[in-house]
Structure 1
Amino acid sequence: MSTSPSAPGLGSIADAAPSSLCAREPRVPADRLVAEMVPPPRFDSVRFDTYIPDPNQPSQTEAVHVLDAFAAGLGGAQTAGSGKRGFLGFGKKAAKTPAGPRGVYLDGGYGVGKTHLLASLWHATPAEPSLKAFGTFVELTNLVGALGFQQTVQTLSGHRLLCIDEFELDDPGDTVLVSSLLGRLVEAGVALAATSNTLPGKLGEGRFASVDFLREIQGLSAHFRSLRIDGEDYRHRGLPEAPDPYSDEQVAKAAYATPGASLDDFPHLLDHLARVHPSRYGALTDGITAVCLTDVKPVPDQSTALRLVVLADRLYDREVPVLASGMPFDRLFSEEMLNGGYRKKYFRAISRLTALARDAKDLVGTRRAS
């Protein structure tokens, strides 16, 4: 049974009907998980020179310079041998030993451009794409789940660089797992770069993240240099407020008028996400040009909220606009959620969905080309 709402006045012409995310149950093979460990589409073209530092935040300019030098330092030859391979740190000359920082940690609140800088580092590192990997913490844990720990170590050990976005500090089990994985990769000579969220109960939007990150990765802390990136959320810097939600009829008509759009009832979509592993949320949106949602309302519980955060990340990565009716996105999460341990994730989701809502405003009034 379809969970997509009908479009008032548009009939039920099969070839004109939008698709439904709720009708999709993607299967993602392990080799795809490995092949897709590259910066997502939104960050395909970002580079250090496309990052626009806030002139009031000198730490942003400093981060660009340090990361640019770090990337340049990863261009030398490596020699095999149980962690004794040559490693280039923050200078541009090859180090004869692996001593010193093998990685960099970007510390800052949401929306200061950490992912932009992390992706720029990946692009700037002078190595073939197959020798460098980029993924979120969730994607990395999913890779371990699909391949197994030892196979993941073998798969990534030949890489020059591993970039981990949104390192999860709020799941002790997964943190220990990934910390162990990174330890093995450091021994193999892999350079590391990471951003992270804050631990539960930390209210500083990144203020305490550096200390937490270095403690949680246990013996790896000596291999990381921490770069503090201050600033406000760039997605709202000087931009208008998010558009008000549209009516159900406007959303449905836009979905029918936009080739490649999906149309779903928001509560049904939340139910469907519970039946799809978060590692498949990217595949869930394959080929979708716009996500149209009716009856948006506050999420009912924390598990549902965390799944929605992952979907918001995948939509944002892929630059898929989101058109919605119902409540505005800044009312998705309860006050209790916004004041709890996962508050940074929820604020990030609100920030990203708001940006995608702005991107979707031109869909209203769109007419399908004949």
Structure 2
Amino acid sequence: MLRLTNDVCPFRRCASWRFLATFVRPLERYQELVQSQELREDAHQQNIVGLLDELCIRLDNYTANGTPAASVSVFSKLFSQPSQTPAGPRGLYLHGSVGTGKTMLMDMFYCGTRVEKKRRCHFGAFMVDVHKRFKCAKDEFIQTSGEDRLRNFDALGQVADSIAEEAHLLCFDEFQVTDISNAMILRGLFTRLFDNGVVVFATSNRPPDDLYMNGLQRASFLPFIDVLKAHCDVASLNSGIDHRIVDMKGEPSVGAVYIVDDGNGSALKADDLFRKLCEEEGAAVEARTLYYLGREMAFPQACGGIVDVTYDDMCLQPRAAMDYLEMCAHFHTVIVRGIPEIGLGEKGSARFVKFIDTLYDNNVRLVMTASKPVKQLFSKNSITLSSREKAELEMLRDDLGLHEADLKTSLFTGEEELFSYLRAESRIRHMLTASYWSACLENNALLNPKLQRETAV
């Protein structure tokens, strides 16, 4: 049976510390938080919570009993009609703009749902894991049966079956499709998951019909949308309110954790903050290297769960999503120095957004020194291409057999990247607040017995 170790699995327990204690259905928990004034009352949001509550009831002690489809050729999988009869209860696809509370509601739902085999993860991390499993399955098959028989091997089906055995409920945060390699395998992967009775709850910034909008070879991706809508109800969370920003009004901000590099001792301020955090950590400052999956990542300065890094090292080096996930598994506080103005399409910008998303999704505290204030950190400039880059796009068009109009995709217009900028900016602003830091401290105390003992003292 194909499996990955816990060290590389993207699945995470519920990230929000408030919901760890007991199984409480979403509507009851939401009303408690509104009454305690931890949340601002939002009628539209409460209606969505009602849908989550109903889904919790349908999934009470749910066990998937779907039978994997018989092995068929890859060609048949690509062109067969999507199943219209779900093997399990219908899931939910929840979309909304930044700051509407999607991640919070997912945590609330996940921790209030009585399903023994359930997993919650960022969708990007999930797809990284899928590609690892896919390669592992093919390598194992080649070793046992030979490469000449690989054409008839359904590696994707085996990957889907292994995931379905581990999880009967999959919760995906930030469901988005920007990579053509992901776009081409999603239909086969999810069709098999649904045939196994797996239930999916996903949050996204886009409605299903807008996924992979204008992406390369999108016509081949469109059948996946039909599969998704055949197995998931669709709901919009858009109410015109960014709760991450609204809830910050009147709340004391941890202003010291975002230092604007004005040339007047900003580096000294960061050094001083690092020392104070290390004193609270009660550990020695030392260099540390993480080893995982044949990779390694070195940090000149670390102290217990605190690490001090630079933007250049995190975003201008060939970092992958797994690197950031590994950091989150070892550090609860990250200091990032030397962050420049982030321009659309510039080198390192996509990695920086992925870095912020990963820290936020794993409740990691963030300290930043940057060249601009938060509101000016992301430059929404359009992409300008050099003559060499334009020539490379022409070669790409010829290689793929595309027309000139096909190059006007989200890959080249920066539409997806601009959308991710808005999300990252909203998340950074939330990560600077006292409530975020307090929640992270509580979460670490619950999940880390050593810290829990120290906190109790």
TM-score by length of 1: 0.72
State the partner residue of 2:45.
60
* Cα pair 2:365 2:437 within 8 Å, conserved: no
State the partner residue of 2:73.
none
Q: 1:54 to 1:150 in 2, by over 3 A?
A: same
- Secondary structure of 1:267's aligned partner: helix
Farther off after superposition, 166-175 or 185-194: 166-175
State the partner residue of 1:145.
131
* Cα pair 1:83 1:98 within 8 Å, conserved: no
Supply the AA of the counterpart residue of 2:163: L
Same amino acid, percent of matched pairs:
23
State the partner residue of 2:330.
287
Bigger radius of gyration, 1 or 2?
2
- In the alignment, structure 1 residue 121 sits paired with structure 2 residue 109: yes
Higher relative contact order (CA 8 A, sep 6+): 1
State the partner residue of 1:356.
431
Cα distance in 2 for partners of 1:80, 1:362 equals: 42
Supply the AA of the counterpart residue of 1:254: L
Farther off after superposition, 146-155 or 209-218: 209-218
Structure 1 gap ranges (5+): 1-28, 85-96, 199-208, 364-370
Quote the offset at 1:185 in angstroms. 0.7
- Secondary structure of 1:127's aligned partner: coil
- Secondary structure of 2:5's aligned partner: helix
* Cα pair 1:292 1:323 within 8 Å, conserved: yes
Supply the AA of the counterpart residue of 2:50: H
Q: 1:118 to 1:289 in 2, by over 3 A?
A: closer
Cα distance in 2 for partners of 1:284, 1:78 equals: 33
Supply the AA of the counterpart residue of 1:332: L
- Secondary structure of 2:131's aligned partner: helix
Farther off after superposition, 222-231 or 244-253: 244-253
Cα distance in 2 for partners of 1:188, 1:142 equals: 21
Determine which of 319, 324, 344 is the counterpart of 2:363.
Answer: 319
State the partner residue of 2:418.
343
- In the alignment, structure 1 residue 306 sits paired with structure 2 residue 350: yes
* Cα pair 2:60 2:114 within 8 Å, conserved: yes
Cα distance in 1 for partners of 2:434, 2:333 equals: 10
* Cα pair 2:338 2:369 within 8 Å, conserved: yes
Quote the offset at 1:290 in angstroms. 2.3
* Cα pair 1:169 1:197 within 8 Å, conserved: no
State the partner residue of 2:446.
none
Cα root mean square deviation, aligned: 3.3
Cα distance in 1 for partners of 2:435, 2:57 equals: 38
* Cα pair 2:176 2:211 within 8 Å, conserved: no
Quote the offset at 1:169 in angstroms. 3.1
- In the alignment, structure 1 residue 109 sits paired with structure 2 residue 83: no
Cα distance in 1 for partners of 2:15, 2:187 equals: 27
Q: Deviations over 1:37-79 (max 9, x none)?
A: 1345346726621464654x43211111111111121125657
Quote the offset at 1:237 in angstroms. 0.8
Q: Deviations over 1:273-317 (max 9, x none)?
A: x32321221212333232223332123644522211121122112
Correspondences of 1:22-33 after superposition (within 5 Å): 30-32=4-6
Q: 1:75 to 1:233 in 2, by over 3 A?
A: same
Quote the offset at 1:224 in angstroms. 1.5
Q: 1:160 to 1:362 in 2, by over 3 A?
A: closer
* Cα pair 1:104 1:225 within 8 Å, conserved: yes
Supply the AA of the counterpart residue of 1:125: T
How many correspondences in the alignment?
308
Correspondences of 1:172-211 after superposition (within 5 Å): 172-198=180-206, 209-211=207-209
- In the alignment, structure 1 residue 212 sits paired with structure 2 residue 220: no
State the partner residue of 2:77.
none
Structure with the bigger percentage of helix: 2
Cα distance in 1 for partners of 2:88, 2:199 equals: 11
TM-score by length of 2: 0.60
State the partner residue of 1:296.
339
Cα distance in 1 for partners of 2:108, 2:435 equals: 26
Q: 1:42 to 1:312 in 2, by over 3 A?
A: farther
* Cα pair 1:169 1:213 within 8 Å, conserved: yes
* Cα pair 1:136 1:165 within 8 Å, conserved: yes
State the partner residue of 1:163.
171
